[in-house]
């Protein structure tokens, strides 16, 4: 079925006719309509001249007077004009500067709205002619973003994954979905969310989207979340009590078909507490599985655990000597490795400064650094006995792992995250994998993939995964305060990008140049629960609302006895 453009009842499916026209497009000598932009003046409503509830980010549809087309646009700028030529004119109108004066006739004012063209029904790229502007219907909204075709049927090859609710100026709400194939591969992948901290928006949004992904995906997907601060993700197995009373959120969950329940059967992991082996380094006390790595598990990671300044050619050469001993199973435990170094140094004959072709000073430096690693990476390195790695092979469709690393120092966090990404990547490369994708969510992404020329192993891994991971199902959901602090390649490889409230300084960064000044202004004051979403298949970004997360936010957790 194709839409008959000359049939008013046919095109009316895309328009909220009940609300009425909200303005008329105009193309002037100095501000012409183009194929990518149109302008309309905003109508007033009723005898009270009530202003419409139109705002930046709303979607409008322009219906050509000759019925030749419907053009959808998003509001990127609103300017209020009066017929006052200058400030001096207004000054005179107030009796030469009397600010208290009331005048019997209000100065004529008009609000001119600039819209970026998103899509049109004819599919032709051309400036629109004289048109009436309306709010679109829900079908119109979904059509404008290329989510559905004229019949309202999905245009996505993958499952539509709702990521939020769009609420237009007339109150029409529409769930906004992204294409699963662009979220977890293979066409595109990765999601990034930025915004200032303290609004609980980023984590809440990601939790909601992950729940939505679980509910709507047609693929076999597992989720791995890293809890990097406080109790953020430690209670995702508990229901969010606010949802019981918050009606908008309840309606939102219902509208988008996502169960309003916490994550089912997640497993929690944390480094083993070296002081109390039965406990973990986690703020969550129950049902947390410990992990720690013995020497055989982390031998490949040890070079990355050193400061870059300490790791030179001599140290690297010596490490190969030690590593050979480990591979030959002459050394199996961390303390054994330290003992081996100690003995090697002690056995050097007096007057000789070399042992196994390495200078004694290098040996001593290696010993000192290796002795310090268990403290730096507290809880991660098991110096004696057998370690217990994270059970990556247990991941299956529907699995949710939460790895609590918030008690670790930055180096420890990087080690855990880097190892996890490498392990998952390796697992997803194997041919007998039982998953289509593993989604890894980590906050404070800037710590792992900072912008600039800093080259670290973990950053290299992340760039590689975001560039090529979509093909093998390794998907990164990252969050950070400022997108400018994250490596450009990691950001640009994300098919879905969410912006929360953002500081004006940050908005000067090239990442935001595509946004109009007014969209940027709105971003600086964006309320909690709203984000600006940019998706690879959307012609324009969209302001979305999302409901309260389905699970208990960590900061609202009250330990037993304190409730």
Partner 1 sequence: MSSSYRQSLTLARRFVVEQGGEIAPLSVSEEELNPDVQQDEATKAYPIEATTSPIKVQYAYPQDSLCSEFRFFEDGRQRTIQIAHIPTEYGSHLLMVPVHYFVVSAVILERVGRQLQLWGEPMIRKGVMVARSLIPNQEILAQIEAAGLLVEDTESKTVGSNDYYDLRRRALRRAKSLRLQYEQELISQWRESKESEDAFLVVDGTLMNMRDEKNVARCVGISKSFGSRYFDVTTHNRIMRLQEFERSWAFRFHADTSEDDPRLGVRERVSWYLRLRQGINVDPEFGLVRVEISKDYADNVGEFANRFSRSLLSDRLPTSYPAPRWDKHLYPIRECENYLGSIMAGISTITASMCG
When binding is defined by CB under 8 A, the residue of 4, 36, 51, 92 that contacts partner 1 is 92
- Examine residue 384 and tell whether it contacts partner 1 (CB under 8 A): no
Stretch that binds partner 1, among 89-97, 337-345, 410-418, 510-518 (CB under 8 A): 89-97
Choice between 47 and 153, CB closer to partner 1:
47
Residue 431 within binding range of partner 1, rule CB under 8 A: no
6 near partner 1, judged by CB under 8 A: no
Cβ closest to partner 1, residue 84 vs residue 260? 84
DSSP helix/strand/coil, 489? helix
Does position 101 bind partner 1 by CB under 8 A? yes
308 sits near partner 1 (criterion: CB under 8 A): no
Residue 93 binds partner 1, judged by CB under 8 A? yes
Residue 107 or 244 having the CB closest to partner 1? 107
User: Quick check: 85 binds partner 1 (CB under 8 A)?
Assistant: yes
Token pair belonging to 196: 């200032």
What is the torsional sign of CA 49, 54, 60, 62? positive
**Binding residue for partner 1 (CB under 8 A) from 6, 34, 53, 89?**
89
Per CB under 8 A, 562 contacts partner 1: no
Q: Which two tokens stand for residue 423?
A: 């392990």
- Alpha-carbon distance of 504 to 73, in angstroms, equals 26
CB 383 within 8 A of CB 205: no
Question: Judged by CB under 8 A, does residue 503 bind partner 1?
Answer: no
Q: Which residue has the tokens 């949710």?
A: 400
Quick check: 375 binds partner 1 (CB under 8 A)? no
**What Rg value do the Cα atoms of the chain yield, rounded?**
29
Q: Does 50 bind partner 1 (CB under 8 A)?
A: no
Q: Cα angle vertex 96, ends 93, 102, to 5°?
A: 50
Is residue 502 packed enough to be buried (19+ CB in 10 Å), middle (13-18) or exposed (0-12)?
buried
Q: How far apart (Å, rounded) are the C-alpha atoms in residues 331 and 323?
A: 9
Residue in 4, 8, 51, 98 binding partner 1, rule: CB under 8 A: 98
Stretch that binds partner 1, among 96-104, 134-142, 323-331, 441-449 (CB under 8 A): 96-104
What ranges make up the beta strands (E) of 26-159? 37-42, 44-45, 50-51, 59-64, 70-82, 109-120, 131-134
Q: Which residue from 4, 79, 88, 300 is in contact with partner 1, where contact means CB under 8 A?
A: 88
Tokens of 60: 């409008």
> Per CB under 8 A, which region of 105-113, 169-177, 418-426, 458-466 contacts partner 1?
105-113
Task: Please say which residue, 92 or 308, places its beta carbon nearer to partner 1.
Answer: 92
Give the pair of three-digit tokens for residue 487: 């490596």
Among 9, 105, 352, 525, binds partner 1 (CB under 8 A): 105
Distance in Å, CB of 122 to partner 1, minimum: 21
d(CA 175, CA 164): 6
Collect all residues with Cβ–Cβ distance below 8 Å to 27 and sequence separation of at least 6: 33, 38, 39, 127
86 binds partner 1 (CB under 8 A): yes
Does position 32 interact with partner 1 (CB under 8 A)? The reply is no
Q: Would you say 28 or 352 has its CB closer to partner 1? A: 28
Does 8 engage in binding with partner 1 (CB under 8 A)? no
CB of 126 to partner 1, least distance (A): 19
Separation of CA 489 from chain center: 15
Q: Is the Cβ of residue 100 or residue 431 nearer to partner 1 in the bound state? A: 100
Instruction: List CB contacts of 255: < 8 A, sequence separation 6 or more.
Output: 165, 173, 175
Is 268 within 8 Å of 281 (Cβ atoms)?
no
**Beta-bridge mates of residue 227:** 404
Write out the residues near partner 1 by the rule CB under 8 A. 47-49, 83, 85-86, 88-90, 92-95, 98, 100-108
């Amino acid at each position: 079925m194709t839409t008959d453009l000359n049939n008013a009842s046919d095109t009316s499916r895309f328009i909220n006719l009940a609300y009425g026209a909200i303005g008329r497009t105009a193309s002037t000598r100095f501000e012409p309509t183009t194929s990518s932009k149109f302008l309309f003046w905003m109508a007033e409503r009723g005898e009270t001249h009530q202003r419409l509830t139109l705002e930046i980010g709303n979607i409008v549809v322009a219906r050509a007077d000759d019925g030749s087309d419907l053009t959808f646009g998003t509001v990127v700028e609103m300017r209020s004009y009066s017929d006052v030529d200058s400030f001096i004119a207004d000054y005179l109108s107030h009796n030469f500067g009397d600010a208290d004066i009331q005048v019997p006739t209000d100065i004529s004012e008009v609000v001119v709205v600039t819209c970026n063209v998103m899509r049109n029904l004819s599919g032709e790229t051309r400036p629109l002619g004289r048109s009436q502007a309306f709010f679109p219907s829900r079908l119109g909204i979904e059509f404008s973003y290329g989510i559905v075709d004229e019949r309202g049927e999905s245009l996505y090859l993958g499952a539509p994954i709702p990521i939020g609710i769009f609420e237009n100026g007339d109150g029409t709400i529409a769930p906004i979905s992204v294409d699963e194939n662009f979220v977890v591969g293979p066409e595109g992948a990765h999601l990034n969310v930025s915004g200032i901290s303290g609004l609980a928006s980023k984590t809440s949004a990601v939790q909601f989207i992950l729940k939505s992904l679980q509910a709507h995906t047609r693929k076999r997907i597992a989720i791995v979340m890293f809890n990097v601060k406080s109790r953020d993700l430690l209670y995702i197995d508990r229901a969010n009590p606010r949802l019981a009373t918050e009606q908008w959120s309840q309606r939102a969950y219902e509208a988008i078909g996502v169960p309003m329940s916490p994550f089912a059967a997640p497993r929690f992991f944390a480094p083993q507490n070296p002081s109390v082996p039965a406990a973990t380094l986690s703020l969550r006390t129950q049902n947390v599985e410990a992990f720690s790595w013995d020497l055989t598990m982390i031998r490949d990671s040890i070079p990355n655990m050193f400061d870059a300044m300490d790791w030179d050619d001599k140290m690297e050469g010596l490490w190969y000597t030690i590593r050979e001993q480990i591979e030959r199973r002459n050394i199996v435990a961390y303390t054994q490795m330290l003992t081996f170094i100690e003995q090697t140094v002690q056995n050097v004959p007096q007057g000789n400064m070399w042992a196994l072709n390495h200078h004694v000073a290098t040996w001593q430096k290696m010993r000192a650094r290796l002795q310090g690693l268990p403290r730096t990476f507290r809880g991660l390195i098991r110096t004696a006995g057998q370690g217990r790695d994270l059970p990556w092979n247990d991941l299956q469709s529907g699995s949710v792992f939460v790895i609590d690393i918030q008690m670790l120092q930055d180096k420890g966090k990087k080690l855990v995250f880097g190892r996890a990404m490498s392990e998952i990547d390796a697992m997803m490369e194997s041919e007998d994998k039982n998953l289509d994708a593993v989604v890894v969510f980590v906050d404070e992404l800037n710590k792992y993939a900072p912008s600039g020329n800093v080259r670290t192993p973990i950053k290299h891994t992340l760039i590689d995964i975001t560039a090529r991971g979509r093909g093998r199902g390794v998907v990164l959901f990252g969050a950070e305060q400022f997108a400018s602090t994250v490596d450009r390649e990691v950001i640009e490889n994300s098919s879905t990008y969410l912006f929360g409230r953002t500081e004006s300084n940050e908005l000067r960064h090239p990442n935001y140049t595509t946004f109009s000044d007014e969209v940027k202004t709105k971003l600086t004051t964006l309320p909690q629960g709203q984000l600006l979403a940019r998706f690879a298949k959307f012609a324009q970004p969209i302001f979305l609302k999302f409901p309260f997360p389905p699970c208990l936010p960590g900061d609202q957790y009250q330990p037993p006895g304190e409730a």
